Amino acid sequence: MFDDLRDRSMERMEPRSGMAAPAASPQPERRIFGMTAGQRLVISIMLLATIFVVGLMCLLVTGRIWLI
């Protein structure tokens, strides 16, 4: 059953005759953690807001600032 499994998978990977292989892009897409630039921007803004809120809460708890 599994004797020719590798051969079968290689057949699927090879382009068939008569069909053009897809052209490779000149530059690969730059992605960090699989996210686009816009997604990374949103994540960084959310992280900044979280740090701001946690810092504000720490200042309130320690009594360094007061909200009137």
Q: Domain containing 66: what range?
A: 35-68
Question: Residue 50 has what pLDDT?
Answer: 98
Q: Which residues of the chain have pLDDT under 50?
A: none
Residue 57 domain-assigned? Answer: yes
Question: Residue 7 has what pLDDT?
Answer: 72
pTM: 0.53
Question: Residue 45 has what pLDDT?
Answer: 98
Residue 47 domain-assigned? Answer: yes
Residue in this structure with the two tokens 């309130």, named with its chain if needed: 60
Residue 56 domain-assigned? Answer: yes
Residue 50 domain-assigned? Answer: yes
Residue 33 region, left (φ>0) first, then alpha (ψ -120 to 50), else beta?
left
